[in-house]
A and B are shown apart, each in its own frame.
Chain A
Amino acid sequence: MTYLLKKSEVNQTLRAWTSKAHVYAPQKVQKYAQFLPVGEDFELSVEEPHNTRFPPKALFLPQSETLLKYNPQKRELESAKTPDQPRIIFGIRPCDAKAVTLLDSVFSSEDNPDPFWQARRDQSVLVGLGCDQPCATCFCTSVESGPFDRSGLDAILTDLGDTYAVEPLTERGVSLFENLTVASAETTQTIQAIQEKATREMPIAFGREGLKAHLDELFENEIWEDFAKSCLGCGICTFLCPTCFCFDIVDEVRKSTRERNWDTCMFKVYSIEASGHNPRPSRRERTRQRLMHKYSYWLDHTGQTGCTGCGRCVRYCPVGLDIRAMVRKSVATPSEVPHVD
């Protein structure tokens, strides 16, 4: 069943939901959009810029969070409470929702789930917004996703001008929207046409055929040096990436807390060991790690590419390093070292 949600009623609908859940939606902060709690003066921002600058993974894995507290009076450790509020996340793009499902394989693994991640995942309903107008930096169809990918979503919206067509995908999705008008069969067809067209028109950035094996063979190649030359070694590409999940656990002694912060393989201090040895001593190894993790090691671990093609790293890299071009250049580089198993 497909429903129709008038754009003029989005504000009201979202505000109504706040009585039963924490509702998050992209809103303008300065000149960019960011997922923020829906409040009284809420205004949805999904037009321009299309996607949020900061990735919505932060809704599940906050950049900094407290895991433990030490109570110096009682001399006791207290574990932080896992969040227990139901949440609705409205307007998340398919690439970002797909990224959350990828991260499930890290934080929701059966033998060792992360209680904080798990609690937030269980509490959240994800309402996605498909992309009929992909940006110049998008390449989701090149990495096993697409502008109307349904992974991880409870409902998906298609923009019909002054209305959103709503396709609930799960029970939880249905319960949010069941009071709305049902779309006609004709409209359903239009929606399908829009979705197919968007998927078809998304340019293919590179072919994935044999990519992993080829990259593995390039491990010692000098292209990494080449990429690393201009790379600043900042955290932009990884912090803005919806699938990067590395973290660092720190004891903040002055506050008696143990906190978990995002960390990134692009920092030198990330891989430095207590002895002072750094297995990734230069930018060459670190640049290689970012690309290889996404396009090779993820496949080893989960069978999926660890990139969903959102294009944030391409857009915001201060020196114009484009991961799509890096992959293309790798493909064009013949491997000299034969692959040894």
Chain B
Amino acid sequence: MDTAKKIVLFQCQWCLYAPEDQDWVDHHLPENVHLTKVPCTGRLDPLFILNAVQGGADGVMISGCVPEKCHFKEGNLSARRQMDEFSDFLNYVGYDEDRICFTWLDLQDRGRIQKDVAEFSKKVEALGKSHSLNTRSVLPQGGAHD
């Protein structure tokens, strides 16, 4: 479906406890959802998010482990401070904060990732195409002045 809004999903490789959930993410994501796996949400750099946004993402979703269940103990906590501020900052600059979403999954959250992706997709669909910061464009031939 052409008109579906582009969503980039950053997934912590440890956050999905059920193999069938991981299998769904690995092989059965809707076509408009692009997956990038990270070793931990703590590995996320604001530059990753920015690259997704500039490359045309209408929404960015981050899934990670709940506090105190981080595979690396505290990676998710430091990610929380940074990502919270970064999305506030992008909102200030002009990229709607509703287009960035964080989902924290726990042991008992089997099957929740499917629901969360669907819910977020719906929300982004409602927000429509993002027009700001979506700037990866090819230069006019012969430079800006011609």
In-complex A–B contact (CB below 8 Å): yes
A→B interface (CB under 8 Å): 22, 24, 37, 58-59, 62-66, 69, 80-83, 85, 116, 120, 254-255, 257, 259
Which secondary structure dominates where chain B touches chain A? Answer: loop
Contact B146 A66 (CB under 8 A): no
Contact B146 A22 (CB under 8 A): yes
| Complex: A327 Cα to B144 Cα, angstroms | 35
Q: Determine whether B143 belongs to the interface, using a CB cutoff of 8 Å to chain A.
A: yes
Residue in A24, A116, A254 whose beta carbon sits within 8 Å of that of B142 in the complex: A116
Contact A62 B145 (CB under 8 A): yes
Q: Which residues of A contact B144 (CB under 8 A)?
A: 62-64
Q: Which residues of A contact B138 (CB under 8 A)?
A: 66, 69, 255, 257
Contact A81 B141 (CB under 8 A): yes
Contact B55 A254 (CB under 8 A): yes
Contact A65 B142 (CB under 8 A): yes
Residue in A63, A116, A255 whose beta carbon sits within 8 Å of that of B136 in the complex: A255
CB distance from B136 to the nearest CB of A (A): 6
Count of B residues near A, CB < 8 Å? 11
Provide 25 A-B residue pairs closer than 8 Å at the C-beta atoms, listed in order of the A residue: A22-B146, A24-B145, A37-B145, A59-B145, A62-B142, A62-B145, A64-B144, A65-B142, A66-B141, A66-B142, A66-B143, A80-B142, A81-B142, A83-B141, A83-B142, A85-B146, A116-B142, A120-B142, A120-B146, A254-B55, A254-B136, A255-B137, A255-B138, A257-B139, A259-B139
| Complex: A77 Cα to B138 Cα, angstroms | 15
Q: Which residues of B contact A257 (CB under 8 A)?
A: 138-139
| Complex: A115 Cα to B55 Cα, angstroms | 31
| Complex: A85 Cα to B140 Cα, angstroms | 14
CB distance from A62 to the nearest CB of B (A): 3
| Complex: A58 Cα to B137 Cα, angstroms | 20
Contact A65 B136 (CB under 8 A): no
**Considering the complex, which residues of chain B in the window 42-96 have a beta carbon less than 8 Å from any beta carbon of chain A?**
55
Q: Which residues of A contact B55 (CB under 8 A)?
A: 254
Q: Which residues of B contact A120 (CB under 8 A)?
A: 142, 146
